[in-house]
Structure 1
């Protein structure tokens, strides 16, 4: 494990044309350094089951999570569901959650978002812009 002052604490990967597999490799590296990531912004890239699975494991340390306008692989609905379950289940203090312009048009996902709002006392910012919550 690296010295705490040398660990990546904030990661911003926006509009890089990144694939799910590539993002998963980066998340594996973050996880290997000791899980100290506090801020993650990932937008305008591909997000799928591989990276969402690894992201689940980094949830306890995150204070800010932004997933915006990512192209999803077809089987990522279940992965988003698992990610939201982890946000609810882990005793961590997320303060900002932004899930914008992604397809959350499933009642289970909407219910999980509502549970996050109820259960996370320090959540001060929730952005669900263009999340297609009402279209089914």
Structure 2
């Protein structure tokens, strides 16, 4: 930790067998004056509740300037979420990115974390909760937190969580809220269907819509879902620039709907991923012609 006090800006200790004892040493380094540590990756270490609490105590210290913390697959549960939420409320909180993917937080853990996000001292920009057992109850807590004024969160990853129709709707309603400034949203493998696409389309038409990046890969949207989504892309209020629809059951019919949306004026979409879909020659040609036409903004097209 003496070395940490003087020179380290980025420290990677993923899957290194770090325990609560190691967390105590790191927390001490975070409290040092001056502390140069800005990014810390502890993913894949079984830190336990005591380890996460020690780290969180370090984050609260006014000397701590940590901006990015990765704790994916660290066995974080309710108690750890409570400690982290307390750290997010500290003044000043410098943390801008938090990765808790692969921890089974469940509804109670997500609610505790959301309480931290509501606090005006919390300046978190990026939150990654992939495969965390987030359900509709967790979505309700997150949506409430992101409506707080002001909300600093710009990127949210909820991939691999079975949000349910009601959970999805809560998220999409949130996107309509002018206080929500979310720009990037990952919903890969979340069980989104055509019903969810209808609510999402309504959100994409909201004014103003801040969303620029959307990943819906691994959801069985089908023709009706893609048609609905395309209707949203046509709206001039939609500012989406990057759309991932890998393994979504897109067919030639979906390609035609997407091509029609991309011809709308103006279409902001620059990148479209349609890998692992059953596309025919006609669908591929429709979109490829658009990509090759200088009148349209599409630059990257993956089949």
TM-score range, shorter chain: 0.7 to 0.9
Match of residue 131 from structure 1: 190
CA 1:114/1:79 → structure 2, altered by over 3 Å: closer, same or farther?
closer
Q: Is 1:34 aligned to residue 91 of structure 2?
A: yes
Distance (Å, rounded) in 1 between the aligned partners of 2:64 and 2:160: 33
> What's the counterpart of residue 15 of structure 2?
none
Cα separation, partners in 2 of 1:35 and 1:112, compared to 1, 3 Å: farther
Residue aligning to 2:153:
94
Q: Please give the residue correspondences for 1:1-136 in structure 2 after superposition, counting only pairs within 5 Å.
A: 2-3=61-62, 5-28=63-86, 30-31=87-88, 33-34=90-91, 36=93, 37-60=95-118, 61-71=123-133, 77-107=136-166, 109-119=167-177, 122-134=181-193
Instruction: Call closer, same or farther: CA 1:123–1:18 in 2, change over 3 Å.
Output: closer
Q: Larger RCO: Structure 1 or Structure 2 (Cα < 8 Å, ≥ 6 residues apart)?
A: 1
Larger Rg: 2
Q: TM-score, normalised by structure 1?
A: 0.74
TM-score in terms of structure 2 length? 0.37
Unaligned runs of 5+ in 2: 1-59, 196-303
1:95-115 CA distance string (max 9 Å, x none): 1111111011122x2222212
- Judge conservation of contact 2:81–2:110 (CA < 8 Å) in 1: no
Question: What is the aligned-residue RMSD (CA, Å)?
Answer: 2.8
Q: Are the equivalent residues in 2 in contact too, given 1:63–1:96 (CA < 8 A)?
A: yes
Tell me which protein shows more strand as a share of its residues.
1
Deviation per CA, 1:26-45: give whole Å up to 9, x if none.
Answer: 433x1464362321111111
Indicate the SS of the match to 1:68: coil
